[in-house]
Structure 1
């Protein structure tokens, strides 16, 4: 059964504050409304307001001056939307037929690592959706989406055709929850037989294996996105503000 998803209140407040800063309604250097004022205007409890302000501070939109209050810093030079982290990009990515090949989709026994991420017993049934992404005429990465069967049942995630919408929208719609954060794990290893065939690499090739575990606000994992990258075809780059 699909549910209509409404973003949590703190996320709604974050979006509105970012909009006001970008529009110039709250110009750089100006004091931010107090917690009490925001609670009154938006009808939110203090913990919700404090959480939203903490995210805005951590993302570089506002600054806190001890004893003086919170002030607008402006749109951060490295805004999250400009430089999406790998896991977030995978969560939002559509499967474009011209560059994405669907390799397989169906129920499999969960490997130990995947079962641990999803809080399931090893060997439990999970849905695996696997695609290969081509770039410049050669296979560039293998993307695997792992999730509990009840989350994928009856959705495009379980269908044998490319996704026209990202995994995030599908999961949030079915689960009726908002995905709050991603935990990433990066390892390096040699390819297995299937990966050698799909990527066209040798047995001694170095692969980067990144797992992005998407969780709700309680920390419950709903989906694991795995990307397998040939080390000689990729360079991982990250950028973040220094505070």
Structure 2
């Protein structure tokens, strides 16, 4: 241990083990030394070792298996999602289904739709009045049987009400763009705002998000010129996706 002012011993231990994990000295599935072993290695008490391990668990780097000890957590391979090329061709079905199939995975999703009224936040995003009727649909997306994404979408019933696409998953056409095309609503662009936060209990349980790993929240809105026609909140675990933006620059 290096003694210097202001750096507690448990953080020095966490720094050392973290470096070994990130540099590949300790790899996914490797077992860390036992608590007595770490106490002997670093010359500290059991409580200091436990504090260091808790830091690493909170960062999602290790997992504790009851009765066995602590192991380096396997990091999920990051899936790159490219906004610029996502709609380089006008989609004819669900973008999620197309992306999963292209990567060799089997896409599935379950959902629940219901009529409700717009909250102030949703009304602002859809440029409608608070209390206006909307269709709310909650999705759970799976790839090869594993949940990978959650989404909650809202569509103004002033646009879709009474049409064949009022129920987003109730017809033969899936995907916002082809559905809107079918009723003559031409989506011209998509906007996304991305933020990060801690996973809420349901999100962590459903997506199997380890403690300390944040989720990415993508607020996506589809527009017919200046008119918003659908908005959604999309949740993915930050250790599974890279949001890579490639945007065209107009000629001079």
Structure 1 residue 89, shift from structure 2 partner: 7.0
User: What is the distance in 1 between the residues matched to 2:164 and 2:213?
Assistant: 36
CA contact (8 A) 2:84 2:247 kept: no
Deviation by residue 1:131-152 (Cα, 9 ceiling, x = unmatched): 2121244211112321112333
CA shift in 2, pair 1:179/1:239, >3 Å:
same
- Name which of 135, 139, 143 aligns with 1:135: 143
Give the count of matched residue pairs: 160
1:201 match: 209
The runs of at least 4 consecutive aligned structure 1 residues that moved more than 6 Å come to: 88-91
User: What is the distance in 1 between the residues matched to 2:85 and 2:234?
Assistant: 18
Structure 1 residue 103, shift from structure 2 partner: 2.7
CA shift in 2, pair 1:91/1:223, >3 Å:
farther
RMSD: 3.5
Q: State whether structure 2 residue 147 is matched by structure 1 residue 145.
A: no
Task: For structure 2, list consecutive stretches of 5 or more residues without a partner in the other structure.
Answer: 1-81, 99-105
Counting only pairs closer than 5 Å after superposition, residues 5-24 of structure 1 correspond to structure 2 as none
Q: State whether structure 2 residue 164 is matched by structure 1 residue 155.
A: yes
Q: State whether structure 2 residue 238 is matched by structure 1 residue 228.
A: no
Secondary structure, aligned partner of 1:236:
strand
Counting only pairs closer than 5 Å after superposition, residues 1-243 of structure 1 correspond to structure 2 as 83-84=85-86, 92-93=94-95, 99-153=107-161, 154-158=163-167, 164-174=173-183, 176-201=184-209, 205-217=213-225, 219-240=226-247
Bigger Cα displacement from structure 2, 179-188 vs 133-142: 133-142
User: What is the distance in 2 between the residues matched to 1:95 and 1:213?
Assistant: 19
Secondary structure, aligned partner of 1:213:
strand
Structure 1 residue 226, shift from structure 2 partner: 3.0
CA contact (8 A) 2:222 2:228 kept: yes
TM-score normalised by L of structure 1: 0.53
2:45 match: none
Structure 1 residue 158, shift from structure 2 partner: 0.9
User: What is the distance in 2 between the residues matched to 1:123 and 1:203?
Assistant: 37
Structure 1 residue 124, shift from structure 2 partner: 3.5
User: What is the distance in 1 between the residues matched to 2:92 and 2:200?
Assistant: 22
User: What is the distance in 2 between the residues matched to 1:241 and 1:120?
Assistant: 31
User: What is the distance in 2 between the residues matched to 1:125 and 1:82?
Assistant: 32
CA shift in 2, pair 1:81/1:122, >3 Å:
closer
